[in-house]
Amino acid sequence: MSHSPGADPRPLTGEPLALDLLNTRWIDGDGPHDLLDSAAGLAVWLNSPPVREHLGPAPAPAADRVTLERLLLARTALDSLAASTGHQDPATPESADRLNEVLAHGRIRHALGSDGLPESVVEVDDPSWAPAWYAAENWLHLVADRPDRIRPCANHACVLHFYDVSKNGTRRWCSMAGCGNRAKAQRHYARRSGA
């Protein structure tokens, strides 16, 4: 799949960084897609708002094979962890090890700034680890906060994930406009046809 420069073709964006990385794969009427199947797709993801927010003013790492491999390592770990979280199972040791492998390439250094205020600085082994590390670190925040709010879309044909921030915590669909409306239409059709 080719991606025009700068255009993010994904149907669900704006989720926390860890889930945004998972959502680089999706299925639509044209079949399965993977934004990270090319350097061009990687460049789109690296310049997306969730990534830019985490990287801050630092320049985005190169959209090259090394950054892509490291990001795919993180996505594989997150995919496995999201599957167990969705079933409310504990993470397997293998899944935890994969995420910890990514996390081992960075750290948060706390210091007292020249203005007398505390500051936190992220340090990574190499800039190509930064996107993968930030996504892995974001996962830690999500599971520490509300792991029950990390969910796969209730549409079994959909592979997207979301973080339910609704007040009552009952969100089921990646989006009401997409999967939610399709489910409503299917229920309506089933009632009208007597099925």
The closest alpha carbon to 72, from 64, 15, 152, belongs to: 64
- pLDDT value at 14 more than 80: yes
Q: What is the pLDDT of residue 89?
A: 72
* Mean pLDDT within 16-44: 96
pLDDT of residue 195: 56
Lowest mean pLDDT among 21-25, 63-67, 84-88, 170-174: 84-88
Position 56 scores a pLDDT of 84
Asked if 50 contacts 20 with a C-beta cutoff of 8 angstroms, the reply is yes
- Cβ-in-10-Å burial (0-12, 13-18, 19+) of 30 comes to exposed
> Can you read off the two tokens belonging to residue 117?
């205020």
Residue 177 has pLDDT above 90, yes or no: no
Q: How confident is the model at residue 188 (pLDDT cuts 50, 70, 90)?
A: very low
pLDDT at 191: 58
How far apart CA 67 and CA 152 sit, in angstroms, is 26
Among candidates 95, 72, 107, 88, which has minimal Cα distance to 151? 88
For residue 91, the model assigns a pLDDT of 81
Q: What's the pTM value of the predicted model, to 2 decimals? A: 0.87
User: Which positions ≥6 away from 103 have C-beta within 8 Å?
Assistant: 133, 136, 137, 140
Read off the amino acid at residue 124: V
Q: Which CATH superfamily is domain 17-193 in?
A: Jann2411-like domain (1.10.3300.10)
pLDDT, tens digit (0-9, with 9 covering 90-100), for 53-109: 998 887 789 999 999 999 999 999 999 999 887 666 778 899 999 999 999 999 999
Cα 20 to Cα 11, 48, 185: the distances in Å are 11, 10, 27
Q: Is 91 helix (H, G, I), strand (E, B) or coil?
A: coil
pLDDT tens for 118-158 read 999 999 999 999 999 999 999 999 999 999 999 999 998 89
Give dist(CA 141, CA 162) in Å, integer.
14
